[in-house]
Amino acid sequence: MAQQFTRQTAYKVWVSDIHNAQLTKGEGEFEADYITVRDRKISRVNVIGVVVSVSDGEGYTHLIIDDGTGNVALRLWENNYVLDVKVGEVVLVIGRIKVFNDARSLSAEVVKKVEATWAKVRNFELKKLYGDPVKIEKFDVDDVEQGPPAEEESVMEEVAVNDVRGGVLSYIEENDVGTGVLLDDLTKSVGGNSEKVVQELLKDGEIFEVAMGRLRILP
């Protein structure tokens, strides 16, 4: 029987997971390829990385991003994106895994520039969830500077706040089966100032209430 994807969540992973994980080809014409990462079948991923290469093709821009565990290529089609991306900038990418001639890449659905701190936040988040990654080549996100260096204490305070924000979004993403998650369960699980972060996410439009005290991530 063909594998059914009832909910194609864009899972947060390291780039090395895209390349190292077991790949299963979709059996039907419209079935997506997927990788198996920590017992999850994943066809869409959410990664943050530093742009290390930019080149133009016919009707598209070719990017390579690196998150410190390895790099992956993706294409931005001109009719879908108006994005001036430069080498050294940090981007968040949501995309589908594609395989051509045994090489894995991403078909980008969302590409958004983010502050360099978010690369560190994602690294903290994934290490907390999964432990240390298996790197496929040497590259250090911390070596990429985005403007003047910040004071270490200030950076760590920002990371702490953003870590809770990432924890809230991860909890909703992992536990929402279509009806949302209870605010009380979320705050007990994530802890910290998660209730304040929830209010900020509601204000920013990243999550919404499907019912009183029940939250979902905006599609």
Q: Is residue 35 assigned to a domain?
A: yes
35 touches 105 (CB < 8 A): no
- Do 157 and 115 belong to one domain? no
Other Cβ atoms closer than 10 A to 91: 23
- Do 171 and 99 belong to one domain? no
Instruction: Give the C-alpha separation, 58 to 102, whole Å.
Output: 23
Number of domains, the chain = 2
Strands 90-100 vs 71-77: parallel, antiparallel or unpaired: unpaired
Q: What is the CATH number of the domain that holds 202?
A: 1.10.10
Average of per-residue pLDDT across 205-212: 76
- Do 101 and 28 belong to one domain? yes
Lowest mean pLDDT among 20-29, 75-84, 166-175: 75-84
Q: Which pLDDT score, from 0 to 100, does residue 146 have?
A: 40
> Per residue in 116-141, pLDDT tens?
888 888 888 888 888 888 776 444 44
Q: How far does Cα 149 stand from its chain's mean position?
A: 24
What's the pTM?
0.58
Element at 73 (helix H, strand E): strand 71-77
For residue 167, what pLDDT band results from cuts at 50, 70 and 90?
Answer: confident
- Could you list the residue range(s) of the whole structural domain that residue 205 is in? 150-217
- Report the share of the chain in percent with pLDDT over 70: 76
Instruction: Identify residue 2 by its one-letter amino acid code.
Output: A
> Per residue in 20-44, pLDDT tens?
888 887 665 556 777 888 888 888 8
Q: Is residue 17 assigned to a domain?
A: yes
Q: In this model, does residue 80 exceed pLDDT 80?
A: no
Q: Is residue 174 assigned to a domain?
A: yes
- Do 91 and 179 belong to one domain? no
The pair of structure tokens assigned to 214 is: 């029940």
Q: Among residues 98, 120, 142, which one ends one of the domains?
A: 120
- Report the share of the chain in percent with pLDDT over 90: 6
Element at 131 (helix H, strand E): none
- Do 111 and 156 belong to one domain? no
- Do 31 and 79 belong to one domain? yes
Q: Which pLDDT score, from 0 to 100, does residue 151 have?
A: 41
- Do 25 and 104 belong to one domain? yes
CB proximity list for 186: less than 8 A, separation 6 or greater: 168, 171, 172, 194, 198, 215
Helix (H), strand (E) counts: the chain: 5, 12
Q: In this model, does residue 142 exceed pLDDT 60?
A: no
The neighbouring-strand residues paired with 41 are 36
Mean pLDDT of the chain: 76
Instruction: Give the C-alpha separation, 95 to 91, whole Å.
Output: 12
Instruction: Give the C-alpha separation, 202 to 216, whole Å.
Output: 10
Q: Is residue 135 assigned to a domain?
A: no
